[in-house]
């Protein structure tokens, strides 16, 4: 059985780093080794130790002086929006109506879906992201295209066809019954196939009728192990329209609560303008609030209160995400750079260890997949990113004055992008190199 032995500076998190000096929150090896067999990490630690377990014939790849980290995880992105990114001049509802819904009608065409799914996952890998929780379009074919492409690459991805049956053009509408039936068929075909996970995906309260919300709730009850993903409290006009459509609701969160959509595997994009009651409801159910900084800035939606959510007496679980194509970049480094600035505008800081924890183990925990991905622990899947903090002339120059790992990570986050990603391993396979050749 062939195995691969990677050498480099390894960094993996054990838990949330409380401070920049909280060394026991991470494991860092200046000369680290990762032994990979059958797509999994079988040994990790000091290179000299790991090498002893490698045996003859192991393929050795020396990535020194670069950093080896768990592959980045993006907790919310829309693969059909690659040609929506950089659409000028609108806030959420206008942006959806003017640019996004018309673009998503194209995904009725299976060939178009397959092409964009391929290019989307290429882009993810190029930017060091090995797992994404993705929204497909309303069309069943778009989810089939995404999963087929993801399965071919042996990526661990989470995705679902959006359910939407009102308040959008006909070309992107299903019905309560067809939304249910198509989701059910996709779950049967794709959930648990290789590394694929299905997420029940009612787009948001505005585009689902009460009948469709009932159906989404039924799917969650019938498949309690599945993820559920949707949008919540992104923009004031969205909140007001939701209140008109669901006049009996106490607030926006109550709509989802009413239909049984809150829970440990429920991912709520944005969560910017939550009341205390709503935050308590998310916390009490273990639901996850997904921080999408580039999108929230681009659409002028507002500032996610990351540190306050963490510090509450009843904290909210948090993930971080690009939200492409409301989001403006595929890179989790760029995303957390903007996240740092959003948090700064709230008068707080996110230190670089916390940031890299969030992109890796933090997001894996939020997505309930930390036993498989998000660390470099032996026994987990070999999804790994190789980072070069001297990737550009400006980074190289700044590195001349960097003295600590914390400073290097912060430099990578502040100046880094896909150019800093030297290699990406997906289940042990060198995916960035494979793509280039
Ligand atoms: N709310 C409902 N759909 C969307 C979407 O596609 N992007 C964003 N940012 N918010 C949404
Ligand atoms: Zn979104």
| pLDDT tens sequence for the chain (437 residues) | 689 999 999 999 999 999 999 999 999 999 999 999 999 999 999 999 999 999 889 999 999 999 999 999 999 999 999 999 999 999 999 999 999 999 999 999 999 999 999 999 999 999 999 999 999 999 999 999 999 999 999 999 999 999 999 999 999 999 999 999 999 999 999 999 999 999 999 999 999 999 999 999 999 999 999 999 999 999 999 999 999 999 999 999 999 999 999 999 999 999 999 999 999 999 999 999 999 999 999 999 999 999 999 999 999 999 999 999 999 999 999 999 999 999 999 999 999 999 999 999 999 999 999 999 999 999 999 999 999 999 999 999 999 999 999 999 999 999 999 999 999 999 999 999 888 76
- The number of the ligand nearest the C-alpha atom of 237 reads 1
Can you tell me the distance from the alpha carbon of 153 to that of 187, in angstroms, rounded to the nearest whole number? 19
Contact 134, 146 (CB under 8 A): yes
**CB of 204 sitting under 6 A from ligand 1:** yes
Beta-strand runs (E) in 179-330:
196-202, 227-232, 266-270, 288-291, 317-320
Using DSSP's 3-state secondary structure scheme, residue 417 falls into coil
| Ligand 1 pocket, mutate which of 84, 95, 100, 163 (most atoms under 8 A from CB) | 100
Closest C-alpha to 19, from 408, 405, 374, 352: 352
Q: What is the pLDDT of residue 55?
A: 87
Contact 275, 251 (CB under 8 A): yes
**How close is the Cα of 248 to the center of ligand 1, in Å?**
24
For residue 137, the number of C-alpha atoms closer than 13 Å in the C-beta half-sphere is 30
Q: Whose CA is nearest to atom 3 of ligand 1?
A: 203
Cβ neighbors of 252 (< 8 A, separation 6 or more) are 205, 232, 233, 239, 242, 243, 278
| Ligand 1 pocket, mutate which of 81, 234, 255 (most atoms under 8 A from CB) | 234
Q: Hey, how many other C-beta atoms are within 10 angstroms of the C-beta on 60?
A: 12
**CB of 295 sitting under 6 A from ligand 1:** yes
**How close is the Cα of 85 to the center of ligand 2, in Å?**
12
Q: Whose CA is nearest to atom 1 of ligand 1?
A: 231
**How close is the Cα of 134 to the center of ligand 2, in Å?**
9
Q: What is the pLDDT of residue 437?
A: 67
Contact 329, 335 (CB under 8 A): yes
**How close is the Cα of 164 to the center of ligand 1, in Å?**
12
Ligand 1: nearest atom to the Cα of 292: 9
**CB of 238 sitting under 6 A from ligand 1:** no
Q: What is the CA radius of gyration of the chain?
A: 21
**How close is the Cα of 165 to the center of ligand 1, in Å?**
15
Can you tell me the distance from the alpha carbon of 227 to that of 363, in angstroms, rounded to the nearest whole number? 14
Angle, CA of 21, 25 and 26, to the nearest 5°: 100
**How close is the Cα of 58 to the center of ligand 1, in Å?**
46
Q: Whose CA is nearest to atom 11 of ligand 1?
A: 231
Cβ burial 348-359 (10 Å sphere, 16+ → b, else e):
eebbbbbbbbbb
pTM for the model stands at 0.98
**CB of 78 sitting under 6 A from ligand 1:** yes
| Ligand 1 pocket, mutate which of 231, 252, 295 (most atoms under 8 A from CB) | 231
Closest C-alpha to 158, from 100, 229, 88: 229
Q: What is the pLDDT of residue 435?
A: 84
**CB of 76 sitting under 6 A from ligand 1:** no
Cβ burial 220-244 (10 Å sphere, 16+ → b, else e):
beebeebbbbbbbbbbeebbeebbe
- The number of the ligand nearest the C-alpha atom of 234 reads 1
């Amino acid at each position: 059985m062939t195995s691969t032995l990677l050498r480099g500076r390894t960094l993996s998190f054990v838990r949330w780093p409380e401070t920049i000096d909280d060394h026991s929150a991470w494991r860092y090896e200046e000369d680290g080794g990762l032994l990979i067999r059958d797509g999994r990490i079988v040994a990790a630690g000091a290179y000299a130790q790991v090498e002893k377990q490698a045996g003859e014939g192991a393929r050795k790849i020396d990535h020194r002086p670069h950093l080896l980290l768990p592959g980045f995880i993006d907790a919310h992105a829309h693969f059909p929006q690659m040609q929506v990114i950089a659409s000028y001049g609108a806030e959420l509802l206008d942006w959806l109506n003017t640019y996004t819904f018309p673009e998503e009608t194209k995904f009725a065409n299976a060939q178009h879906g397959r092409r964009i799914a391929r290019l989307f996952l290429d882009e993810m890998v190029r930017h060091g992201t090995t797992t994404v929780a993705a929204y497909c379009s309303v069309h069943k074919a778009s989810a089939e295209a995404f999963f087929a492409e993801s399965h071919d690459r042996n990526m661990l991805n989470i995705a679902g066809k959006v359910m939407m049956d009102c308040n959008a053009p006909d070309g992107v509408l299903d019905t309560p019954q067809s939304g249910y039936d198509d989701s059910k068929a996709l779950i049967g075909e794709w959930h648990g196939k290789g590394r694929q996970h299905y997420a029940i995906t009612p787009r948001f309260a505005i585009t689902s009728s009460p009948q469709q919300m009932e159906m989404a709730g039924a799917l969650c009850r019938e498949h309690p192990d599945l993820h559920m993903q949707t949008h919540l409290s992104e923009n004031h006009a969205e909140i007001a329209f939701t209140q008109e459509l669901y006049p009996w609701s106490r607030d926006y969160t109550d709509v989802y609560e009413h239909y049984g959509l809150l829970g440990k595997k429920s991912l709520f994009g944005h969560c910017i303008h939550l009341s205390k009651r709503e935050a308590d409801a998310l916390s009490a159910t273990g639901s996850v609030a997904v921080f999408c900084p580039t999108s929230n800035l681009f659409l002028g939606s507002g500032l996610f209160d990351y540190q306050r959510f963490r510090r509450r007496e009843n904290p909210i679980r948090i993930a971080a995400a690009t939200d492409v194509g409301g989001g403006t970049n595929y890179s989790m480094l760029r995303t957390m750079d903007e996240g740092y600035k959003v948090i700064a505008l709230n008068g707080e800081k996110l230190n670089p260890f916390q940031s890299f924890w969030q992109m890796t183990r933090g997001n894996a925990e939020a997505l309930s997949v930390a036993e498989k991905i998000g660390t470099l622990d032996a026994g987990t899947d070999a999804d790994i990113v190789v980072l070069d903090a001297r990737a550009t002339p400006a980074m190289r120059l700044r590195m001349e004055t960097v003295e600590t790992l914390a400073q290097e990570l912060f430099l990578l986050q502040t100046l880094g992008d896909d150019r800093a990603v030297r290699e990406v391993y997906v289940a042990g396979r060198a995916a960035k190199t494979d793509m280039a050749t």
